[in-house]
Amino acid sequence: MTRKITFKTGYPGAEKDVTVEIHDQDATPWGLGAKLRSVGTDVPRLEGIAKATGAARYSFDINRPRMAFAKALRCWRGHAKVVSIDLSAAEKLPGVLAATVLKKPGERVTYSGEMVAAVCAESEEALDDALAAIEVKYEALPVAATTDEAMRPGAPQPDPRNANVFAEKPQTRGDVEKAFAEADAIVEAEFRTQVQTHSALEPHGCVIEPNGDGGFTVWASTQSTQGFQNSIANALGVKPNQVRVIAEHIGGGFGAKFGADDWDRVTARYAKDLDRPVKQLLDRRAEHLVAGNRPDSIQRLKLGGKKDGSITAFAGEVFGSAGNGRGGAGATNVRVYRYPNLNMVQSSVSTFAGQGRAFRAPGHPQGVFAAEGMIDLLAEKLGIDALEMRLKNDPHPLRQIQWKIGAERIGWKANRRATPGSDTGPVKRGVGCAAAIWYQKGNGNFVVNVHVDRAGHVTVQNAVQDIGTGIRTVLAVLVAEELGIDAEKVDVQIGDTNFPAGPGSGGSTTTPSIGPAAREAGLRAREGLVAALAADWASPAEEIALKDGVFVGPGDKKATFAQACSRLGPEGLSVTGQRRPNYDGFHGDTAGCQFAQVAVDVETGVVRVEKVVAVHDAGRIVDALTARSQVNGGVIQGVSYALYEDRQLDRATGDMVNPTFDTYRIAGMNDCPEIDVVLTSIESGFNNAGLMGLGEPATVPTAGAVANAVANAIGARVYELPITPARVLAALNARGNVK
């Protein structure tokens, strides 16, 4: 059963009426301009105090009685053959419970960090000694650790059956050759990006405990309790419903933590065989090398346009490596702007290195860095303001508004250097901009439980996990909105597969996938309270309304939320809400843009990002505070990607030279710019709360904006990330001294 409704979507100045059929049981969309009580306000993160005081328990903090420790012995070389492996000395050491060969003599390792053996021991100390006592002899084999090297003819291959270069499907449109021939200006350049590792503070791994009844309890650091449950059940050889996965708090994921990994399967095997709890979380070196990364890219691009600033053709070839597997690299450089004629050929290159994984907007930051650099180059060649160029070619109605908001706040007119590099003195400033795009409306049939007891306690339950994004608080806000109470009054129980299944936290889909179910559950709870009052007041339910947190009925009858709850039976009220299918909405792409202001010391090459204005859309914003926090995090990670992070592999061995946090540089407190977040909250439609994703787009444009700002500041462009002092100085030298 459905009903047909028409409501207003969009943003003031970019509005659109949509008419949709919605499920009878679904909540009616609020529509553009709705005045809401809690939704869209600043609500402090529910678990904020627990996290700040250290009370919050992460899987890393879980220790169980009789718990043993497991760890893999890893080969720290990109390519080698195991000649011999001897566990006997390790097995004899006190406290060693089990040792296992994972790579037999004759087998190859094809990335640094690959597991060759594993040990389970009574203590971490015994474990460490045992790993050191394992004797492995390797035959070193030739390595091609970088994309460039793996592309050379005759380069060694991780998989001898497949060539290293794997062409993905090209993206083509129109007639590129003709368009270039007719273009008024053409720019060509090669951009390069590095490998960035996820570097979540909590490493991958889990604690697995046998329950004694054939089932297991697992405390996992995961972005998907559901996915982890399925994959670890498979590893344990039991049904998923015999495995309970708990992930109460997670110290970040960024795309690298979904199902159980090969080291988790080792943990599972020991837990099962030894019939005792076993813990294994990776150390930092393994995190950097084996637990995913953002692939690098080499983007050779050509962009053509007309005198009026319209882009007519974009072409290029892209190479990148997602490690020793096949495929998986690629740079998303053809979104955002109108490219009427297009020919982008992308290839993935197999290298002797750990595999890439989804990483906060896979493909996008690297693609946007290059594409936005090309836009600036073309604008310069055509003699058009870089912002005008973007306005001319951007089809998104909301981003058209956002560009103007961002330009105003960064002071584009005053701060964009008409002559790049023209500041006096060694420290030169400039501004630059770049666009964000994302496209997630959420989906699934997820169910949220809400329970209200007679004393007025509200409990929300779902298996969804909060990887730091604020989904716990978002669920509370949506339920609270329907009940007319404050979000702080709602207890949210999540991160446990004993609750109804929740979405994985990936693709920026968590809020739009589960939020609408929470809203519907809140609505059901309100209806239950109204029914209880209707019985009590002997009034028709449809004449009872919730106004400003008070239930009002005929004859001026009034009940606070607590009073309404007291009318419930001893069993309280148990209701569910469901995620309904998506319907039509404002725009399939969320819009965003960022502007950066940098200061560059042209003598030292050191870049400081002074300010970033981040203008983002994520449909309707539920909790403005945690949403801004998401954007802050995206900007900081983007600055870190632009200036610092770099997985440096030694090309002779394929091993990482900087696998610790003192040498793998990540932006720290003093490296963070002032961040001015503007959330253009819109009614996006698509679901009952108008929700879309935010986590990923927030980091998409940062590096592009920073790189363009650096070029504007110094009058020379750095075509490769990270923008190190060495590269800044080289760019200036190539250009001649600008001092």
Interface residue list for another protein (CB under 8 A): 76-77, 125, 128-129, 132, 285, 603-606, 608, 643-644, 648-653, 655-660, 662-663, 665, 667-671, 724-726, 729-730
For residue 678, give the amino acid letter. Answer: V
In angstroms, the CA 320 to CA 329 distance is 5
CB closer to another protein, 564 vs 642: 642
Kind and range of the H or E run holding 234: helix 225-236
Kind and range of the H or E run holding 303: strand 297-305
Least distance between another protein and beta carbon 131 (Å): 10
Its sign, for the CA torsion 541, 544, 546, 550, is: negative
CB closer to another protein, 226 vs 653: 653
For residue 423, give the amino acid letter. Answer: D
Residue 497 in contact with residue 225, Cβ under 8 Å?
A: yes
Least distance between another protein and beta carbon 469 (Å): 24
Least distance between another protein and beta carbon 411 (Å): 23
Rg (CA), the chain: 28
- Take residue 651 and report the two structure tokens written for it: 């090309």
Q: Is 349 exposed, middle or buried (0-12, 13-18, 19+ CB in 10 A)?
A: buried
In angstroms, the CA 722 to CA 444 distance is 38
CB closer to another protein, 298 vs 636: 636
Least distance between another protein and beta carbon 121 (Å): 13
CB closer to another protein, 36 vs 652: 652
Least distance between another protein and beta carbon 649 (Å): 8
Kind and range of the H or E run holding 9: strand 2-11
CB closer to another protein, 288 vs 399: 288
Least distance between another protein and beta carbon 136 (Å): 11
Residue 679 in contact with residue 631, Cβ under 8 Å?
A: yes
CB closer to another protein, 571 vs 662: 662
In angstroms, the CA 696 to CA 699 distance is 6
CB closer to another protein, 120 vs 145: 145
CB closer to another protein, 445 vs 604: 604
Least distance between another protein and beta carbon 101 (Å): 19
Least distance between another protein and beta carbon 714 (Å): 15
Which among 446, 529, 517 is positioned nearest to 483, based on CA atoms? 529
In angstroms, the CA 103 to CA 117 distance is 7
Q: What are phi and psi of 596, to 5 degrees?
A: -120, 145
Least distance between another protein and beta carbon 164 (Å): 17
List Cα–Cα distances, 521 to 268, 420, 482, 568, in angstroms: 36, 56, 9, 17
CB closer to another protein, 148 vs 527: 148
Which among 328, 247, 258 is positioned nearest to 294, based on CA atoms? 328
